[in-house]
Amino acid sequence: MQKRRCLLDNRGLVPYGIAWEAQQSLVASRLQNPTLDDILLLLEHPPVYTLGTGASLDFLKFDPNRTPWDVYRIERGGEVTYHCPGQLVGYPILNLHHYQQDLHWYLRQLEEVILQVLGGYGLHGYREPGLTGVWLEGYKVAAIGIKVKRWITMHGFSLNVCPDLQGFSRIIPCGIAGKPVGSLAQFIPDLEVQQVKENLCKAFAKVFQVELIDIAARSRS
The answer, as to whether pTM is greater than 0.75, is yes
Q: Is 215 annotated in some ligand binding site? A: no
Q: Is 52 annotated in some ligand binding site? A: no
* CB 212 within 8 Å of CB 6: yes
Q: Is 83 annotated in some ligand binding site? A: yes
For 35, residues 6+ apart whose C-beta sits below 8 A from its C-beta are none
| Mean predicted confidence (pLDDT) in 107-130 | 97
Q: Give all strands (DSSP E) within 85-149, no chain letters.
A: 87-93, 134-136, 139-149
Average predicted confidence (pLDDT) for the chain: 94
Q: Is 54 annotated in some ligand binding site? A: no
> How does 132-165 read in b/e, with b if 16+ C-beta sit within 10 Å?
bbbbbeebbbbbbbbbbeebbbbbbbbbbbbbeb
Q: pLDDT at position 219, please?
A: 53
* CB 83 within 8 Å of CB 16: yes
Residue 115 burial class via C-beta count within 10 angstroms: exposed 0-12, middle 13-18, buried 19 and up: buried
Task: List the catalytic residue out of 6, 84, 174, 201.
Answer: 174
84 carries an active-site annotation = no
- What pLDDT digit, counting tens, does each position of 22-76 carry? 999 999 999 999 999 999 999 999 999 999 998 898 989 989 888 888 999 999 9
Domain region containing 214: 4-220
What's the number of domains the chain is made of? 1
What CATH number is attached to the domain comprising 152? 3.30.930.10
Q: pLDDT at position 2, please?
A: 77
Q: How far apart are CA 56 and CA 204, in angstroms?
A: 31
